[in-house]
Chains A and B, each alone.
Chain A
Amino acid sequence: MNVTLSHVSRRFGGFQALDDVSFTVRSGELVALLGPSGGGKSTILRIIAGLESADAGSVRLGNEVVDSLHPRERRVGFVFQHYALFRHMTVARNVAFGLESQRLGKRETAARVAELLKTVGLQGMENRLPSQLSGGQRQRVALARALAPSPRVLLLDEPFAALDTKVRSELRRWVRQLHDDTGVTSLFVTHDQDEAFALADRVIVVNHGRVEQIGTPLEIMDQPATEFVARFVGEANVLVGTGTSDGVQIGPLVVPRDARVASDQLHVVVRSYDLKFWRDDTGGTATVQRVQLLGDRVKVEADLDGVGPLFAQFPRRSSLLHGIELGCRIAVEITTARSYARQG
């Protein structure tokens, strides 16, 4: 079941929450909506589910335009950020809720509930109340409940945001597994890049209500389409550069020019792992300001002559780190850089 948004826009009072959003999630895909908080991702999800409506544009599920359909008619499963479990019902009745309109009969319903609870690893918890469950358990009940009526699409709104790190990574792995087993088209919202890249087949980067880029995690990482994506994803240096006939000048360094970029006033984005530093007492182009041990990585911050701060990360045992200490001169090599027209 495809999910297609066409030119969807939404205003809340004076605030443009979504601006001409269009994309297609293909059947069976697990897609992440990634972006900073307040960027409109949750609004997109709610519009797909029918909990909000768009001011312009349309939503299609498969070939069916669903804009005028009530959420209950869309057969879209929704997992809320704070679970929204029915607090007065047991786990079993929560999960069975979506089955009630299907008139399955008591035994069949119970069987399906048991099956779902087994899938989410909560068998035996049928008679517990939500207040008696941990956060991770509640989230799994929410998932089971959403999946019970066999929805055509599954939507998850920051499903792991309210959980601690350890529980989060477990659940992540487990949601991916669940998706692979059920094959339901799924769309989830997150502001956590690691999560998006670890789980999703494709990622849609959303900022200020606009789609910045759509692509596989690799494409997003290695070929960021806009400066925002380049900055947002991974740890990046943003340097001011000037276009010349030879290339792009960044202080004492030069990187090749991209013909597609028209302007000469540029921002050059360099990922922290696309740099090489090594000690150079006879010249060098930068001075080391700080060396930080971050667990299994080392972060070196330097001041690039005439430009400003620059930082790079190396594995702890990297030979490049040999001799690098506070105040020493280093040579800098940029292995990969992306240039974007400087705005304002």
Chain B
Amino acid sequence: MNNQEPATSFGDFIRQKRISLGLTLRTFSSKFAYDPGNISRLERNILPPTLDIDKLKGLAKALQIEEGSLEWVTFFDLAHTAKGRVPEDIYLNPEANKYLPLLFRTVRGKKLSKKKLEEVIRLINES
């Protein structure tokens, strides 16, 4: 994590740490039996970290953060700050579609109806 800007959010911190270990989202989630959707949401700061201290410690250990180290303190400080915080953009506009997919056809080359497209956009924005 030495060549990057210091993380200022819990999500940025754990993403940088995971990547610095050479683990993809998939391999990290597989290795420690985490839901990749939840890890992704944590990393994007749209899911606040758990309040359960043992689970937080488990995540810190999975990220090879040494207990008592400066990283350990930062991890818990950032987790504490992030707990219960509602992401600002969701708070300001719960209907906002932050992500728009470049999806013009399905795998089988079919166009999606406007209704289906709206559903996909809702789905990915809730992911």
- Does chain A bind chain B? no
Residues on A close to B: CB < 8 A? none
Residues on B close to A: CB < 8 A? none
